[in-house]
Amino acid sequence: MRGAPAVPFVPRPPLLPPGAEECGTAALLFAPGAAWPGAVLAAVCRSNKSPWVCLTCSSVHCGRYVNGHAKKHYEDAQIPMTNHKKTEKQEKVQHTVCMDCSSYSTYCYRCDDFVVNDTKLGLVQKVREHLQNLENSAFTSDRHRKRKLLENSSLNSKLLKVNGSTTALCATGLRNLGNTCFMNAILQSLSNIQQFCCYFKELPAVELRNGKTAGRRTYHTRSQGDNNVSLVEEFRKTLCALWQGSQTAFSPESLFYVVWKIMPNFRGYQQQDAHEFMRYLLDHLHLELQGGFNGVSRSVILQENSSLTASSKCCINGASTVVTAIFGGILQNEVNCLICGTESRKFDPFLDLSLDIPSQFRNKRTKNQENGPMCTLRDCLRSFTDLEELDETELYMCHKCKKKQKSTKKFWIQKLPKVLCLHLKRFHWTAYLRNKVDTYVEFPLRGLDMKCYLLEPENSGPESCLYDLAAVVVHHGSGVGSGHYTAYAAHEGRWFHFNDSTVTLTDEETVVKAKAYILFYVERQAKSGSDKL
């Protein structure tokens, strides 16, 4: 389920008493005298990815998204004993509960759910504290060895030479919680949209817990109520955890728990569409911010941020928030009846633009392939804004003709956003299958000029239509329900590749070769000598 570094174990003290004790949601069973293994390595496959320790026998096995030996360990324990008569005690010991050695979450295979409560003696919390102590001691003893390795590291290491000085690589990865790379790629991209990220990081913290659990880490289950969850708060906490340099990877399980609660489409551990998740995330952040935050009105918070002026706000589903102030733009949709010439205009707010990859380019899969012209981002934008005739299934209801007629449609951009999010439509339905368009699309790192797509370009300044790339989300694989998502993002002049818990420095040449799925462009604030697209 979750990946984790190899953390050495030492023989444990007698934390757990003999016998067994019921735990409400699940029976937490501990075998007396069981010894801890020597390292967090799966007993069967010797993998150090996603290690889970059985709370019955202390054996360690890999999670279901590695080789699934932890689940198999539980299933094997359910096979009836044929040669020996079961005792009452043996019937209870069924190896149903295990703990993630990385995040210390507890899971019950019998209930198929995470465990939120503890035994009367607090045995589960004692196991967590013991694991945390072991991890802390292992980190301390290993710190000096890593320091020497980092001093001699290359470009992709934790240190980098900049202008003759050594600079720490403070980027933090996000642990994969079970096919959650779609979420990790979006979160890392948004964390590098500085104006957007800084707004949430500066929000006041909200304490959602009180009483006996105040100040303690909570472990949620899907059966808990929805009254005490805040997407804004968990999103804020996640952004604050990134770029601090205090850890190599952060586990966004609290945020993922809230996502499960308020976005039912993303429950479970199957692969999801990163673009669909981004839209749901932004929409729900927008809705929650509209209702105020921690007793502070959303409008007051926006007014305190001087960089978000009234002219930059774009209202979607109500009042403006930081979501619409930064990502919000306005399209003008023109429809002309081909029979009577009646023209209809409508203004539509948007948070991102979904662009088709023109069909004539769909066979060109690599940048260096020589079978025809290269598809560029300009081609996709032109396809989006060009005049098109609607087909028979999209007949326009003409108010003058008083019936559906053939018509043409054209989009203009009436207002550009501060951050232009461009989604390349790589997945499309053919018969009963959703196929991927694997075409390489050339995109600029700097100077994307959007002036020619504006409704009134003469009213825009020379620099207001130029955009520079901030982040790219890439889908690796052949289908939307499979494959893997990673992200590239620029931070303080350097490009990073975010692959779940692994973060590496990269260069611009690598970024421009990526087959982009989602592109985040930031409005240029100062003049530059860069070439335009």
Q: What is the DSSP string of 118-130?
A: --TT-HHHHHHHH
Name which of 430, 423, 65 is nearest 273 in CA terms: 423
Which two three-digit tokens encode residue 91? 């019937």
From CA 484, how far away is CA 475, in angstroms rounded?
6
From CA 270, how far away is CA 265, in angstroms rounded?
11
Which two three-digit tokens encode residue 189? 């991209």
Q: Please, which residues bridge with residue 30 across strands?
A: none
From CA 97, how far away is CA 88, in angstroms rounded?
19
From CA 169, how far away is CA 171, in angstroms rounded?
6
From CA 508, how far away is CA 316, in angstroms rounded?
35
Which two three-digit tokens encode residue 145? 């060895």
| Cβ atoms 502, 462 nearer than 8 A | no
To the query of whether residue 181 is one of the catalytic residues in this protein, the response is yes
Which of 98, 181, 375, 398 is an active site residue?
181
Answer positive or negative: Cα dihedral of 144, 147, 151, 157. positive
| 481-502: burial string, b at 16+ Cβ within 10 Å, e else | eeebbbbbbbbeebbbbbbbbe
Give the strand order in the sheet containing 106-108: 60-62, 51-54, 97-100, 106-108, 113-115
* Cα distances (Å, whole numbers) of residue 62 to 59, 99, 282: 10, 11, 34
The CB density around residue 200, as the number of other CB atoms within 10 Å, is 21
| Cβ atoms 499, 486 nearer than 8 A | yes
Which of 130, 428, 476, 484 is an active site residue?
484
Which two three-digit tokens encode residue 349? 């707010």
To the query of whether residue 484 is one of the catalytic residues in this protein, the response is yes
Catalytic residues: 181, 484
